[in-house]
Amino acid sequence: MRKLILALALAGTALSSSAVAAEKLKIGTEGAYPPFNFVDSSGKIGGFDVEIGLALCERMKVECEVVAQDWDGIIPGLLAKKYDMIIASMFITEERKKQVAFTNPYYLAAMTHAAPKGAGISAFSTEALQGKVIGAQSGTTQADYIAAVYPDAEIKLYPTQDEANLDMVNGRLDLQVGDMLPLLDWVTKNDDGKGCCELVGEPITDKKFVGDGVGIAVRQEDNEMREKLNKALDEIRADGTYKKINDKYFTIDVYTMK
């Protein structure tokens, strides 16, 4: 009987420990997509995505750890339970919904073209860009876009956005397609970007590629977490926390793009 009581007590302790451990969540992000997510000179992961994620965790009263993951493996990492959510400027698309579930958008999305200054690119049809060297980050909706819209171009794909930017600075790209806000940040604030390049053409807002905005991805079975994240997002929008983080990085409200 004593052994049984002791076993039950230990089992209870283990269950309590598991419940406590479950309150610590991991956020997966890329860490190579400034100003949304990046690794600073001290090795700390920061950026708009990260600060929004930590604000949501604080509102949900859970401890969170941020984990860096290369973009190509970011959804497999979530499915393998390396982390509990992805907050990495991921467009909500029908294709991705086949693998993960998304929260409501935490900001709106658009893509854009960038070109070397003076390149004179003003037409964006398949014919006009035939033979041009066009780049994008691999595994992204931008990569899907250039493959679909510019099939007669020479397409170059890169593991990170920074590598695509570097090739453009070095004259190896005629054009690239990227998420509008990071590219805008690059050509207006980064010394290399300001010196070499500019945004061209109209924003790309085709929902086939940009989806319904940018959301937080969770595993499809984690509906309770998704609902808690949605509630926390509404709360940080209402109390000004979102605005404070937004204004640290942008001059417009990226939740509404106004």
Six-digit token pair at 1?
């009987």
| C-alpha torsion 107→112→115→120, nearest 10 | -140
Whether 3 has a pLDDT exceeding 90, the answer reads: no
| Terminal alpha carbon distance of the chain | 69
DSSP letter at 107 equals B
Tens digit of each residue's pLDDT (9 = 90 or more) over 217-228: 999 999 999 999
**CA separation for the pair 166, 180 (Å, rounded):** 17
Residue 229 contacts residue 103 (beta carbons within 8 Å): yes
Residue 116 contacts residue 168 (beta carbons within 8 Å): yes
Tens digit of each residue's pLDDT (9 = 90 or more) over 119-161: 999 999 999 999 999 999 999 999 999 999 999 999 999 999 9
Tens digit of each residue's pLDDT (9 = 90 or more) over 179-211: 999 999 999 999 999 999 999 999 999 989 998
Closest CA to 38 of 257, 188, 185: 185
Going by pLDDT thresholds of 50, 70 and 90, the confidence category of residue 41 is very high
Residue 158 contacts residue 172 (beta carbons within 8 Å): no
